[in-house]
Structure 1
Amino acid sequence: MGSACRCIICHDYGDRDRLGTFELRTIVHVQQYGWSTVLTGPRDGRPGWAFTIGLWHTHRSPELVVFGLDPYDMQTIVNNLGERAAQGATPAPGQERHDATERHPVALRPVDTRWYERLVPEAVRFYRSSPLPFLQVVWPDAAGLYPWQPGADPALASAQPSLWTPPAEHPPGVWTS
């Protein structure tokens, strides 16, 4: 991926006078705070999720997405990791981070780009290009096991998808229907 940002802040696509309230608010948040956090409520039998828009623009840090927790907790997690990125601790695939929340560590996994339109379309519209880097922030079960580890609570798969897996190969469930 090249370093040129193709977002609606950096590039004039000739439609700035037609941007909606969401896009305009996102621009303000990115310019003021460095990124914006989007909360998506539960729908279609899926738990809610939260993701960032603007970390790539401002800090050349991957955008972040987290699923299935309380909205406040998800917002806190991505904002804490965003603040760490702003301080130079850029999130990277394969990391286990203990600085996202006091409750538990989280693991970072790369998101397959084929999930973007389904789960983070607002980020795609902001950047007007793909692939932009996205990491899924994955939380463990009560025993500290992540969904891919043997013995992990099967309920993790319902609460948070495995976005590092292409949609066509993802186990059937609420995330693939």
Structure 2
Amino acid sequence: MVRRVGEDESEQKVIDDIANFGWHCVSIFAEGEQSGYSFTVGLFESYKHPELIIFGLSSKVAHQIFCIAADAAKSGHPLDLALPTDALVNNYLCCFAEVPTIGYQEYVGFCCWYYQGNDFPLFQIVWPSRSGLFPWHPQATSEFRAIQPVIAAVASGT
């Protein structure tokens, strides 16, 4: 069961965007030690596609990446979240990792509000550094790890 009416303008905007476009993008700007991030709301409701979250990119770039994923899901050919893909960021392979529900409230509160709980899947899009390293790689810099915290469960060998 999802929300159909918002109590204020921002809540209604989420509901209206999902009705009109199939999803909505929420961006949380960096503050203090916390990295900025963006996430989707509505992909699961509209396309049975997991919601997505990405850290450390501008809201504009994150929105563009989400558009690619949403368009693929809408067309009936969603990205395979079990495999790395270069479809999201030119010349870079991105990985997907499932986020445990324990992190939902902290990071995707609007999703929890919309779905009235945490009964939806959420995957983190993890992108590599310019040198091709993912945040979990031993040679990834601490600065890179700080802007892209991995809140998801990462499969070994990725």
Query: TM (normalized to structure 1)?
Result: 0.79
Among 42, 51, 62, which residue is 1:63 paired with? 51
Q: CA offset at residue 102 of structure 1?
A: 2.0
Cα root mean square deviation, aligned: 1.7
What is aligned with 2:97? 109
In structure 2, the CA distance between the partners of 1:94 and 1:153, relative to structure 1 (3 Å rule), is: farther
Shift of residue 26 of structure 1?
Answer: 0.8
Q: C-alpha distance in 2, partners of 1:85/1:75?
A: 15
Deviations 1:95-143 (A, max 9, x none): 2121112252211110111111111101100000213100101110111
Determine which structure has the larger strand proportion and give its number: 2
Which stretch of the first structure deviates more once superposed, 156-165 or 125-134? Answer: 156-165
Residue 69 of structure 2 aligns to a residue whose secondary structure is: helix
Q: Give the counterpart of 2:69 among 66, 74, 81.
A: 81
The equivalent of 2:135 in structure 1 is: 147
| Residue segments in structure 2 that go unaligned for 5+ positions in a row | 154-158
- Cα distance between partner residues in 1 of 2:127 and 2:120: 23
User: Matched residues in 2 for 1:44 and 1:118: separation?
Assistant: 16
Secondary structure, in 3 states, of the residue corresponding to 1:64? strand
Identity of aligned residues (%): 24
1:27-66 alignment runs, 5 A limit: 27-66=15-54
Q: Which amino acid aligns with 1:151?
A: Q
Q: 1:153 and 1:44, CA in 2 relative to 1: closer, same or farther beyond 3 A?
A: closer
Q: In structure 2, what is the Cα distance between the partners aligned to 1:65 and 1:44?
A: 20
Q: Which moved more, 1:116-125 or 1:102-111?
A: 102-111
Matched with 1:20 is: 8
Select the structure of larger CA radius of gyration.
Answer: 1
Q: Is the 8 A contact 2:135 2:149 kept in 1?
A: no
Query: In 2, Cα distance between the equivalents of 1:88 and 1:149?
Result: 34
**One-letter identity of the residue aligned with 2:11:** E
**TM-score, normalization: structure 2?**
0.88
**Residue type of the partner of 1:57?**
E
TM-superposed deviation, 1:51: 0.5
Question: Partner amino acid for 2:145?
Answer: A
